[in-house]
Chains A and B, each alone.
Chain A
Amino acid sequence: DVKVTQSSRYLVKRTGEKVFLECVQDMDHENMFWYRQDPGLGLRLIYFSYDVKMKEKGDIPEGYSVSREKKERFSLILESASTNQTSMYLCASSLFGEADTQYFGPGTRLTVL
């Protein structure tokens, strides 16, 4: 089975802190994605990556950056956390050419105070 793991289930940070959310997948998938999930808005794509060191902006990249130094790991970075970034963050991965069949991690619920 594909396994996508995220470093924390719950995280509380202060405004202005730099925040790292880590995601690891164990199935050698080329594509990796970061979404945020908010009530009434569904899932919105922040960034995705189709290869090591490659990244593409999604629909809401402002205030975020990403890093993919190894194929299995995709990090989401909040350079200076703000309260409007309080949300559930979901990581996903897929095979190249099958980006519509994505495997999701359990999510990180981030609260910014």
Chain B
Amino acid sequence: GNSVTQMEGPVTLSEEAFLTINCTYTATGYPSLFWYVQYPGEGLQLLLKATKADDKGSNKGFEATYRKETTSFHLEKGSVQVSDSAVYFCALGWTNTGFQKLVFGTGTRLLVSP
């Protein structure tokens, strides 16, 4: 079945460090891929997405490239800020019996210290 695997956290970084959060997927067909972010005390919000192979999603300095050959969608940011501390969820979108669904990874907590 369709599934998403992402690295366990927490990931602890100092401000201005480079961030990578790994995400790989298993899917039939051609899914869309997403990163959602959950700030403390809030619901999830869409961070970025890519709908086909080699697409790059980007937002707020974060980037991820849809790599079909390695079935990956790693999240990167060149210089993290304390305000980026949150839980990041990789997700896969697919259509089943006419309905689109999302399958989420387990989440990776990022902690950024000043």
Contact = CB atoms under 8 A, between A and B. Distances in A.
Contact of A99 (B42, B43, B45, B101): B101
A90 interface: yes
Interface string A42-57: 1111001010000010
A106 B42 contact: yes
Interface string A88-113: 00101000011111111111000000
B22 to A, nearest CB: 15
A100 B43 contact: no
Given A50-B99, A100-B32, A41 B106 contact: yes
Interface string B21-59: 000000000001010000001111110010000000000
Given A48-B99, A99-B99, A100-B49, A107 B43 contact: yes
Interface residues of B, number: 20
Interface in A23-78: 40-45, 48, 50, 56, 58
Given A90-B44, A103-B46, 20 more contacts: A4-B43, A40-B106, A42-B104, A42-B106, A42-B107, A44-B104, A45-B101, A48-B101, A50-B99, A98-B100, A100-B32, A100-B34, A100-B100, A100-B102, A101-B49, A102-B44, A102-B46, A104-B43, A104-B44, A105-B43
